[in-house]
């Protein structure tokens, strides 16, 4: 089937099997390999992308269902070489270790902060609990989102909580 969509601002089209998952279309067809597959059941969230501004786990959507949509992946988040505040937060607050869940975690965190740029710790934890991380225990991911929220509000982010500070 012919499928056409806008991905990271670029129009793309291809002939795909109807059963092709959106995540495989992105990874195998477009070679946008920043979106990862961790579980194929929509549970881990490593494949999270934005479809028409909403977070979608792209292993639970067929490519043909995204026909005509605007899709944003992790590769489309930084603009002109400048990191998005959420990306910056993950770097500044050690919000990642192996990095495999990170693209999905960043996509969910961006969506969370777009809805609420000053979330409480509890709101952050519930906002990202559709994304699994096995490395960080989420502690520094929460700090990363707090950092990004402060940046987006034009405030000074809270200092890091590890020994010796920055």
Partner 1 sequence: MATTSVMGGSVRRREDPALIQGHGLYVDDLHPTGLLHIAFLRSPVARAKITNLDTAAAKATDGVVAVYTHDDVAHLGPLVAQVPIGKLRPLLAAGEVNHVGEAVAMVVAVDRYTAQDAADAIVVDYDTLPAIIDLKEAASDVQKVHDELDSNILHTWTYHGYWEALGLEDQTPEVDAAMERDDAVVVSLEMVNQRLIPVAIEPRSVVAEYNPGYSQFTVHSSTQVPHALGGAIATTFGMVAADVRVIAPEVGGGFGSKLNVYNDEILTAFAAKALGRPVKWTETRREASGSTIHGRGWIGTATLVGTADGEFLGYKLHALADMGAYSQNFTVAIPLLGLWIASGQYKMPVSWTVDCVVTNTMTADAYRGAGRPEAIYYLERIIDAYAREIGMDPFEVRKKNFWQPEEFPAVMGCGFALDSGDYPANVDKLMEKVDYPSLLKMRDDARTQGRYVGIGVGSYVEVCGFGPAILAEIGFSWSAYGLPASFNGSGLVRVNPDATVTVVIGTGPSGQGHETTWAQLVGDGLGIPVENIRVLHGDTREHPMGIGTFGSRSIAVDGTATYEATLKIKEKAAKIAAHLLEASAEDIVFENGGAHVKGSPAPRVEWEAIAKAAYQAHTSPEDVDSGLEAHTSFSPANATWPFGSHVAVVEVDPDTGNVDLLRYVGVDDCGNEINPMIVNGQIHGGIAQGVGQALFEGAVYDESGNLLTGSLLDYPLPTASDLPSFELDRTVTPTDVNPLGVKGVGEAGTIGTAHTIVNAVVDALSPLGVKHIDMPLKPRRVWEAIQEARG
Tell me the C-alpha distance between 166 and 162, whole Å.
8
The verdict on 159 binding partner 1 (CB under 8 A) reads no
Stretch that binds partner 1, among 50-58, 68-76, 151-159 (CB under 8 A): 68-76
**What pairs with residue 70 in β-bridges?**
6
- Helix, strand, coil content of the chain in percent (nearest 5): 35, 15, 50
Site for partner 1 in 47-66 (CB under 8 A): none
Q: How far is CA 113 from the centre of its chain?
A: 12
Contact map string, positions 132 to 151, toward partner 1, x by CB under 8 A: xxxxxxxxxxx---------
The verdict on 106 binding partner 1 (CB under 8 A) reads yes
Tell me the C-alpha distance between 150 and 144, whole Å.
10
Q: How far is CA 63 from the centre of its chain?
A: 18
- Contact residues: partner 1, CB under 8 A: 17, 19-20, 27-28, 31-41, 43-44, 46, 73-75, 77-78, 83, 87, 90-92, 94, 96-103, 106, 121-122, 124-126, 128-142, 160-166
């Amino acid at each position: 089937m012919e499928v056409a969509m806008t991905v990271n601002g670029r129009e793309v089209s291809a002939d795909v099997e109807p059963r092709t998952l959106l995540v495989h279309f992105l990874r195998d067809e477009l070679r946008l390999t920043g979106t990862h597959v961790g579980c194929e059941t929509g549970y881990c969230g490593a494949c999270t992308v934005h479809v028409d501004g909403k977070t979608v786990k792209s292993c639970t959507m067929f490519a043909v269902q995204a026909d005509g949509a605007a899709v944003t992946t992790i590769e489309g988040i930084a603009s002109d070489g400048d990191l998005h505040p959420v990306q910056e937060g993950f770097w500044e607050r050690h919000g990642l270790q192996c990095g495999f869940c990170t693209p999905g975690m960043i996509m969910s965190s961006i969506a969370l902060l777009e809805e609420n740029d000053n979330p409480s710790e509890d709101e952050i934890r519930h906002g990202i609990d559709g994304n699994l991380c096995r490395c960080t225990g989420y502690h520094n991911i929460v700090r990363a989102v707090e950092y990004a929220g402060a940046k987006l509000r034009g405030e000074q982010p809270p200092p890091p909580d590890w020994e010796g500070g920055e």
